[in-house]
Amino acid sequence: MIVQKIVTAVVLTTLAVAPGLAHAACTQQDVMAKGGQLSQLLQAKMAKDPTQGQALMVKMQPVMQSYQAQMTAGGAVDWDKICGTYDELIKQAQ
């Protein structure tokens, strides 16, 4: 299912970028927790209203692709930015 692929991509992205990061206000654990919360909300949204769930997934994809591109290019990832983005998506999913 598409939701499971997105959730898997979020978790893998988070784990892949973690080792090379310096201390930030938002930690790897924070991002992982928010990613888990977001995935649960997204799954519930898809079950309740597939149209809204799909719209949220469309918003998530460019965010994930951006972070994956940063990792591929060897750039630093801004954990605070990831947390902020996840917070916005969580609000939209609630």
Token pair belonging to 1: 């299912």
Q: What is the pTM of this model?
A: 0.64
Tell me the CA distances in angstroms from 4 to 19, 46, 73, 76, 81, one per residue in order: 24, 11, 26, 26, 23
Query: In this predicted model, what pLDDT tens digit does every residue of 18-66 receive, in sequence order?
Result: 444 444 588 878 988 998 898 899 899 889 999 988 988 888 888 778 7
Provide the domain limits for residue 33: 2-93
Q: Are 86 and 33 in contact (CB under 8 A)?
A: no
Which of 64, 78, 62 lies closest to 9, judged by CA? 64
Q: What pLDDT score was predicted for residue 20?
A: 43
State the total domains in the chain.
1
**Euclidean distance between CA atoms 8 and 69, whole angstroms:** 17
